[in-house]
């Protein structure tokens, strides 16, 4: 990322919104242009994709500056990579299932291990654990960094919601 | 004042005093060794001799005062209890008197009062005189603490009696619930007040120490404050459960005394590196704050104890010195200081979050605030989900127009950065999400211009997304030139794809 990521969003929230709007719109176009299967499943898939696109767009605007944005991008990347591997036509169904199972197991293990850490009532309060679950990448941070990330995340999330609301209004109006 | 006498006694008569302390007939060399040992125990080796003497005196005073502290029920000294405090204080007064007379510095008596671990290194110079060992071994506070001075030294009058009593009276203000110093001139009522000391916290010992010094010279006050600091720190150390380390901590804290006396240039190498500056600053604060009577209250107020269950270390790296001023009424322990710094940071962040989260102004308290934040984040995420669902169902007559609009509006509010970017190239995976458009990614191809500029602009302006905050001359010119490509390039300065779609962009707009 170049200048867009280097400009702190705190200075210019409008910039944040604009950037997000641009990328999100672009992603929407991409999604729209994708050829889907049936309409119903497409709806569900598309909404999920739109959601992912929204989060990713916002994370990419923020770039590498913030831990939560890095976590989002990393997650998406991993997910896409795994999904690609799963969907890879070279892999047989057997391989695909095994790989999927492996991934799920890894995810479960990781979640369970980390959960013990941040669900420990002696270390973190209940609310703090909840916050850690909600904020991407909040599992391995200390309390102070977590608060910082939360503040930034809330700001970006609010901007994201605003832009999306505008878009929806725009589309539904006309 | 009597203190001056003490000092003169010390400086001049220390050798004799130590001689008397360490058993008659100890040679001067041995005395020097012992004093050196003591000084090495207490201070950096590069201390001056006079400083050693004074510090020995301070240590003696501290040990005296800390002996009732040690008898505090919070400290698990065998036999330590409140009932022994009165006896201890009588002993203290006796010892002070003996100090006046013979210049006896009562580390030995203090040794009795201190933890048995303290005896370990106090004992080394004092082992030689067998007579003194009697007092040393008797470290039971409750038991009748022998006043070595009274027993082993020739019974001397108490020439400093009135002033001494006055001082004792100040000590006796332990018993006073109000923290103001009472100038008690009479001897006997002071004694009776000692009984009240049994009820008192050792905080008041600090007060009395301070108050005594307030009426004396400044050096004394610094001394006493340093002593009180030591007590304080010694207290905190003991109270935090470092009983086994009390020797080291006391020794360490005593080394701080010269710093508290204003020799702040002295290295604090004896203190733990991590706690160095924090403690130093705190103690500086303590020593500087003594000038006014309110400083007494500062030390007297409830010490903040850290009862947090969290073991979160303060986020400051040890080598980065955080200069913290100990606030009024708060502990100066390095750990609590660091905790306080951390808490202040967190509260600062909480305030910031309050601004972000709407409707949190009235909320006080961290837990409620966190709840609000959680609710807010959850609601935002749900909104995103809902809106994404809506957008998915929206008639996908989307367009480039909007993108161009966005790009054009964007540069209005941004400083343009000329980069060669193609925002409309989605083949290169700008957004690392998994789905790839099957097309090469020319979004501008063949999309209907269903949306005109006006609604989008209107909507954007309505929602104040785009505020033409400023239009640079450069931007304006670029805009007016209607060079869409350059405009888009400038506006979308965040992308990395240097491809260009001149033709298509012109087509769309």
Q: What is the ipTM of this complex?
A: 0.82
Residue A152 in this model has a pLDDT that exceeds 70: yes
Q: How far is CA A95 from CA A22, A98, A101, B253, in A?
A: 39, 5, 10, 67
Burial class (CB in 10 A: 0-12, 13-18, 19+), B118: buried
CB contacts of B376 in chain A (<8 Å) are 154
pLDDT tens figures, A126-135: 778 888 888 8
Which range in B37-41, B148-152, B375-379 is most confidently predicted, on average pLDDT?
B375-379
CB contacts of B345 in chain A (<8 Å) are 144
Q: How confident is the model at residue B379 (pLDDT cuts 50, 70, 90)?
A: very high
Residues 300-319 of B with CB under 8 A from A: 309-312, 315
Contact B128, B35 (CB under 8 A): no
Q: How confident is the model at residue B408 (pLDDT cuts 50, 70, 90)?
A: low
Task: Give the closest-approach CA distance of B284 to chain A in angstroms.
Answer: 28
Q: What is the mean pLDDT of chain B?
A: 51
Residue B118 in this model has a pLDDT that exceeds 60: no
Q: How confident is the model at residue A105 (pLDDT cuts 50, 70, 90)?
A: confident
A61 to chain B: closest CA residue:
B494
Give the rounded distance of the alpha carbon of B429 from its chain centre: 50
CB contact under 8 A, B393 and A2: no
A22 shares contact with chain B (CB less than 8 Å) = yes
Q: How confident is the model at residue A164 (pLDDT cuts 50, 70, 90)?
A: confident
Mean pLDDT (whole number) for B351-363: 77
Which range in B32-46, B134-148, B401-415, B476-490 is most confidently predicted, on average pLDDT?
B401-415
Share above pLDDT 70 across residues of chain B, in percent, rounded to a whole number = 13
pLDDT tens figures, B199-228: 444 444 444 444 444 444 444 444 444 444
B158 shares contact with chain A (CB less than 8 Å) = no
Taken as a whole, chain A contains a residue count of: 174
Contact B387, A53 (CB under 8 A): no
CB contacts of A36 in chain B (<8 Å) are none
Mean pLDDT (whole number) for A104-125: 67
Taken as a whole, chain B contains a residue count of: 509
pLDDT tens figures, A132-150: 888 887 777 777 788 888 8
Phi and psi for B442 in degrees, rounded to 5? -85, 100
Query: CA neighbours within 13 Å on the CB side: how many for B500?
Result: 11
Q: How confident is the model at residue B162 (pLDDT cuts 50, 70, 90)?
A: low
**Residue B340 is inside which H or E element, if any?**
helix B334-356
Q: How far is CA B11 from CA A93, B4, B41, B66, in A?
A: 93, 10, 19, 24
B204 or B451: which carries more pLDDT confidence?
B204
Residues 92-121 of A with CB under 8 A from B: none
Residue A160 in this model has a pLDDT that exceeds 70: yes
B181 or B461: which carries more pLDDT confidence?
B461
- The single residue listed with the structure tokens 């009426």 is B215
Task: Give the closest-approach CA distance of A49 to chain B in angstroms.
Answer: 8
């Amino acid at each position: 990322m170049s200048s867009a990521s280097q400009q702190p969003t705190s200075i210019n929230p409008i910039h944040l919104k604009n950037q997000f709007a641009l990328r999100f719109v672009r992603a929407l176009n991409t999604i729209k242009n994708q050829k889907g299967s049936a309409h119903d499943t497409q709806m569900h898939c598309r909404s999920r994709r739109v959601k992912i696109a929204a989060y990713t767009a916002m994370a990419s605007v923020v770039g590498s500056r913030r831990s939560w944005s890095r976590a989002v991008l990393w997650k998406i990347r991993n997910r896409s990579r795994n999904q690609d591997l799963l969907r890879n036509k070279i892999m047989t169904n057997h391989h695909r299932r095994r790989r999927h199972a492996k991934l799920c197991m890894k995810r479960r293990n990781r979640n369970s291990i980390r959960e013990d850490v941040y669900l420990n009532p002696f270390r973190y309060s209940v609310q703090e654990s909840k916050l850690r679950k909600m904020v991407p990448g909040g599992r391995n941070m200390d309390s102070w960094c977590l608060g910082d990330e939360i503040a930034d995340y809330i700001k970006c999330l609010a901007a994201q919601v605003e832009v999306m609301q505008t878009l929806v209004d725009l589309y539904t109006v006309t | 004042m009597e203190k001056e006498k003490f000092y003169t006694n010390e400086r001049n008569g220390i050798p004799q005093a130590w001689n008397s302390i360490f058993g008659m007939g100890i040679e001067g060399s041995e005395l020097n060794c012992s004093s050196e040992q003591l000084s090495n125990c207490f201070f950096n080796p590069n201390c001056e001799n006079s400083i050693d003497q004074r510090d020995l005196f301070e240590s003696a005073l501290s040990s005296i005062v800390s002996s009732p502290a040690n008898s505090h029920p919070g400290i698990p000294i065998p036999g330590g209890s409140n009932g022994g405090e009165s006896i201890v204080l009588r002993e203290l007064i006796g010892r002070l008197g003996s100090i006046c007379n013979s210049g006896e510095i009562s580390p030995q008596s203090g040794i009795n009062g201190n933890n048995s671990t303290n005896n370990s290194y106090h004992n080394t110079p004092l082992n030689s005189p067998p007579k003194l060992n009697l007092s040393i071994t008797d470290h039971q506070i409750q038991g009748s603490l022998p006043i070595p001075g009274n027993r082993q030294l020739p019974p001397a009058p108490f020439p400093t009696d009135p002033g001494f009593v006055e001082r004792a009276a100040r000590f006796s203000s332990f018993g006073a619930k109000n923290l103001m110093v009472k100038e008690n001139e009479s001897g006997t009522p002071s004694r009776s007040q000692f009984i009240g000391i049994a009820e008192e916290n050792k905080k008041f010992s600090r007060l009395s120490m301070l108050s005594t010094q307030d009426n004396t010279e400044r050096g004394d006050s610094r001394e006493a404050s340093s002593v009180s600091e030591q007590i304080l720190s010694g207290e905190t150390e003991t109270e935090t459960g470092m009983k086994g380390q009390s020797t080291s901590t006391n020794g360490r804290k005593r080394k701080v005394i010269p710093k508290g006396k204003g020799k702040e240039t002295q290295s604090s190498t004896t203190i733990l590196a991590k706690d160095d500056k924090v403690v130093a600053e705190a103690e500086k604060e303590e020593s500087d704050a003594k000038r006014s009577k309110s400083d007494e209250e500062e030390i007297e107020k409830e010490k903040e104890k850290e009862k947090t269950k969290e073991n979160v270390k303060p986020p400051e790296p040890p080598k980065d010195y955080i200069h913290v001023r100990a606030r009024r009424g708060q502990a100066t322990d390095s750990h609590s200081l660091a905790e306080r710094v951390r808490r202040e940071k967190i509260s600062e962040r909480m305030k910031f979050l309050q601004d972000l989260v709407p409707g949190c102004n009235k909320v006080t308290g961290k837990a409620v605030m966190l709840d609000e934040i959680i609710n807010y984040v959850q609601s935002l995420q749900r909104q995103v989900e809902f809106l994404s669902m809506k957008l998915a169902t929206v008639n996908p007559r989307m367009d480039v127009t909007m993108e161009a609009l966005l790009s054009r509006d964007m540069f209005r509010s941004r400083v343009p950065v000329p980069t060669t970017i193609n925002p409309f190239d989605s083949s290169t995976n700008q957004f690392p999400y998994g789905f790839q458009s099957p097309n090469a990614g020319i979004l501008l191809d063949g999309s209907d211009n269903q949306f005109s500029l006006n609604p989008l602009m209107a909507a954007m302006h309505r929602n104040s997304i785009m505020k033409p905050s400023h239009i640079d001359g450069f931007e304006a010119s670029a805009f007016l030139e209607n060079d869409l490509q350059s405009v888009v390039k400038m506006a979308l300065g965040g992308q990395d794809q240097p491809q260009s779609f001149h033709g298509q962009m012109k087509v769309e707009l």
